Amino acid sequence: MDRISWDQYFMAQSHLLSLRSTCTRLMVGATIVRDKRIIAGGYNGSVSGSVHCVDDGCYVIDGHCVRTVHAEANALLQCAKFGVPTENADIYVTHFPCLQCCKQLIQSGIKTVYYAADYKNHPYAVQLFDEAGVETKKVELKDLAVDTNFQEKQAFVKQLIQLLGDKEQLDDDTLASIQHQAHQIFAN
């Protein structure tokens, strides 16, 4: 049996963390790792105890939601809060870090940034990472999937099967087979 790679394992953790995001624009997760051990995690969301974007909408100024603390910052702040050093640690992020997070990661001593998806990769962030000797590596999550829309897909497929069942020209055996497969895949 092949085991999942370390990069896939930590990236999967970041995708899982992103499911806690309260941002309606982009769900981001970040996992800080040192010596193949998770030392912190974060997701993008509002300040603790404050109103969340999912409840009140985004508070957008100059194209950016100012209500949100980014996933990378939340992970770094978790380390700061509990006295966990980040020097020479790595971070796994679902999306390429923004310019502000780039600067925070450099200042905190992160040595490698692994990211799953490009997202408005700012040229100055790329330059700063390069100047600071922070390596950036794209690691797309491929060994497993984290589906944030599974409920909608499930409802759609159930509705589709019902609609197909209403078609008189559809062969009963074919419909039964499709319904069986859908039940196998989407059974609760």
Q: Residue-wise over 123-161: b if at least 16 C-beta within 10 A, else e?
A: eebeebbeebebebeebebeeeebeeeeeeebeeeeeeb
Q: Is 131 a catalytic residue?
A: no
Q: Residue-wise over 174-185: b if at least 16 C-beta within 10 A, else e?
A: eeeebeeeeeee
Helix (H, G, I), strand (E, B) or coil at 64: strand
Catalytic residue of the set 72, 87, 131, 168: 72
Instruction: Catalogue the active-site residues.
Output: 72
